[in-house]
């Protein structure tokens, strides 16, 4: 089952692809980035995040991170940010997401 943040045309949009345990950043129909995860009990381990080099420098990685964390927060999930990018994002946004982190 996929959950989406709606957008049109070449506008970036986000998809939660539960079947493949990843969140996708799409521009049009193109996969422009992803955040992979693994469920561990009541927590979600964020294992890898990447953005296609042609889309880097546009803030899309940060938008993807916010989408992932907001979705997990709405589900009541705890987070283990193993991915360096996600760990850094959570640290910079401690006020919004700090309570999600398994310590």
Find, among 33, 38, 36, the residue nearest to 12 by Cα.
Answer: 33
Taking the chain (103 residues) in runs of 10, the rounded mean pLDDT of each run is 47 96 96 98 97 94 98 97 98 97 92
Q: How far apart are CA 65 and CA 81, in angstroms?
A: 11
pTM of the model: 0.88
pLDDT at 10: 80
pLDDT at 8: 36
Q: How far apart are CA 49 and CA 34, in angstroms?
A: 6
Domain borders along the chain are 2-100
3-state secondary structure of 48: strand
- Alpha-carbon distance values, 29 to 12, 13, 15, 20, 32 (Å): 10, 10, 11, 17, 9
pLDDT at 47: 99
Q: Which CATH superfamily is domain 2-100 in?
A: Gcn5-related N-acetyltransferase (GNAT) (3.40.630.30)
pLDDT at 23: 99
């Amino acid at each position: 089952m996929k959950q989406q943040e709606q957008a049109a045309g070449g506008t970036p949009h986000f998809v939660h692809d539960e079947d493949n345990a990843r969140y996708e950043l799409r521009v049009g129909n193109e996969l422009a980035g992803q955040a992979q995860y693994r469920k561990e009990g009541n927590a979600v381990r964020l294992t890898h995040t990447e953005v296609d080099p042609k889309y880097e420098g546009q803030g899309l990685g940060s938008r993807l991170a916010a989408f992932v964390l907001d979705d997990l927060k709405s589900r009541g999930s705890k987070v283990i940010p193993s991915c360096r990018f996600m760990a850094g994002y959570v640290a910079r946004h401690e006020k919004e997401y700090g309570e999600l982190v398994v310590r």
